[in-house]
Amino acid sequence: MGFLRCNGRVTPLLFVLCAFALSIAGGLVGSLVGLGGGIVVVPALTILLGVDIRLAIAASTIAVIATSSGAAAAYTRDRLSNLRVAMFLEVATVAGGISGALVAGFVAPSILNAVFAAVLLVAAVTMLRTRHDATAVPASDLADRLQLHGSYPDRATGTEIAYQVGRPRTGFGIMYFAGITSGMLGIGGGVFKVPAMDLAMRLPIKVSTATSNLMIGVTATGAAVIYLARGDIEPFIAAPVALGVLIGAAVGARVMPHLDGTVVRRLFVVVLLVTAAQMAGKV
């Protein structure tokens, strides 16, 4: 475990190399589960490399955008992302992000963390037990009118899989909630996007994570601009993180079309549980 030697006093060059290597893992996991890779990058920077949490969170917004753009180019070309669902739901997440930032001062973070940890735990259990059946998607006039339904080429089986999208209003509502959480806590909003598309709207899991992956870049942009303007983004932390994440995300996006949906679902549930534990730890 050479990475562990990054802990403690390291030379700046070794720090850059370690941040780069750890971020490759972050980009790989992040691109597969549709989150920003912050779940790997923040603990890696703070625990292994001793970076201040404020700088780590600022760098992780860069990681989120890098994961999104790095993987979404491939997911969009491979038609794994559902663009219409993304454009529709982005309105809710960005609006929620603003609401969250505005009310952030009025609710105790420990209460928020406790509530979100509980919600994530329920989502994880539900997602693990759910077995999707294409005929079970509830019909929706709004989804028809917005032409949200789609299809994607599944390389694992070599077939084109058509799917229907249900409950757009519920999905929109949960996305607004997801935006609020990311606005209030600075991180963690992405973990609600995939369950919303999976459980409420009934998108195939790979489409859910690929679409979430496209959206998180836009959601994180507002925060990233503010961090950049404030000077919270340390160049020699952010640069290796961005480059590592971009490489990891590019690899992840190549692997994803060949993966079985069940594998992606299980990986997502593991990440959900880890995030719930992290939030519970802050209560």
Partner 1 sequence: MSASDGRIEAAISRTLRTGVLVSVVLLVAGLALGIADGTLRDDSPDGAAVVLITLGLVALVITPMVRVLASTVIYWRSRDRVYLTFTLAVIALLALSVLLGATA
**Rule CB under 8 A: is residue 170 a binding residue for partner 1?**
no
Q: What mask, x for binding partner 1 by CB under 8 A, covers residues 91 to 120?
A: x--xx-xx--xx------------------
Candidates 55, 115, 146, 161; binder of partner 1 (CB under 8 A) is 146
Question: Among 86, 45, 52, 10, which Cα is nearest to 242's?
Answer: 45
Helices 83-103 and 205-230 pack at an angle, to 10 degrees, of 40
Question: Among 120, 129, 125, which Cα is nearest to 274's?
Answer: 120
With CB under 8 A, what is the number of residues at the site for partner 1?
53
Structure tokens at 18: 């370690």
**Rule CB under 8 A: is residue 151 a binding residue for partner 1?**
yes
Max Cα-Cα span within the chain:
60
* Contacting range for partner 1; rule: CB under 8 A; set: 30-38, 81-89, 114-122, 130-138: 81-89
**Rule CB under 8 A: is residue 21 a binding residue for partner 1?**
no
* Residues counted in the chain: 283
Distances (CA, A) of 255 to 23, 29, 158, 174, 183: 17, 11, 14, 29, 31
The alpha carbon of residue 9 and the mean position of all alpha carbons in its chain are separated, in whole angstroms, by: 31
Q: Which of residues 44-63 bind partner 1 (CB under 8 A)?
A: 62
In angstroms, rounded to a whole number, what is the distance separating the alpha carbons of residues 79 and 211?
Answer: 10
Question: Among 282, 55, 68, which Cα is nearest to 190's?
Answer: 68
Minimal distance, residue 168 CB to partner 1, in Å = 12
Rg (CA), the chain: 18
Residue closer to partner 1 (CB basis): 218 or 263 = 218
Residue closer to partner 1 (CB basis): 80 or 174 = 80
**Rule CB under 8 A: is residue 22 a binding residue for partner 1?**
no
**Rule CB under 8 A: is residue 222 a binding residue for partner 1?**
yes
Residues that bind partner 1 (CB under 8 A): 11-13, 16, 62, 65-66, 68-70, 72-74, 76-77, 79, 83-84, 87-88, 90-91, 94-95, 97-98, 101-102, 145-147, 150-151, 217-218, 220-226, 228-229, 233, 235-236, 238-240, 242-243, 246
